[in-house]
Amino acid sequence: MVKETDIRSEIVYAGKRLKEGGLVTSTDGNISIKDDKYIFITPSGYNKGELNESDIIKISIDAERIDNVIPKPSMEFFMHQFIYRKRPDIRAIIHTHAPFSTSFTVKGSIPDYSLLLESEYLPEASLLGEFKPGSMELARAAGDTSKNYDIILLKKHGVIVLGKDMKKVLEVTERFEFLCRINIYSKLL
């Protein structure tokens, strides 16, 4: 079993890496890791590049309410929870508003994987419709979509990447953003 301190460290590291890579700005996005009983998630309103291990919030995977949790967890907690419930095989989730992938969500399209040979290492992506951030409708739709996809684009919102460990989820998040960037740049030539 993974130690709680290691889980917290992984989330802090992911936040710093996402911030340094320009995949999150300010307090946007959220990161979580699940163990057998808990979801560890970033707090609401915190800069992902400045997180400390003590900032990470631990909530029962079966929680039905989070309004009494201090500090306040990410407004997307239930989205993470629904995904973990539908996909017991995964352990980590990153949700960003990264500029290139989010540009595709604004257009309502998925990038062309054929433009980059390395895309063969990426899982297939799905595009969800427009949902209010933090809503139960978004949580349910993301959970249902996660049964078949490890990359989920949220119309006019951002991207969710899920996987078996944080290292892999970070890699896929960065590689998918690069694919989106190549798609956009290639259209400018």
Asked if residues 142 and 79 have their Cβ atoms less than 8 Å apart, the reply is: yes
Residue 176 phi, psi dihedral angles, 5° rounding: -65, -40
User: Of the candidates 91, 101, 88, 75, which has an alpha carbon nearest to the alpha carbon of residue 160?
Assistant: 101
Tell me if residue 76 is catalytic.
yes
Question: Tokens for 33?
Answer: 């890791």
Residue 36 in 3-state DSSP? coil
Cβ within 8 Å of residue 43, ≥6 positions away: 55, 56, 57, 71, 72, 73, 74
Q: To the nearest 10°, the Cα dihedral for 78, 83, 84, 90?
A: -140
Out of 20, 53, 64, 76, pick the active-site residue: 76
Residue 48 in 3-state DSSP? helix
| Residues with catalytic roles | 76
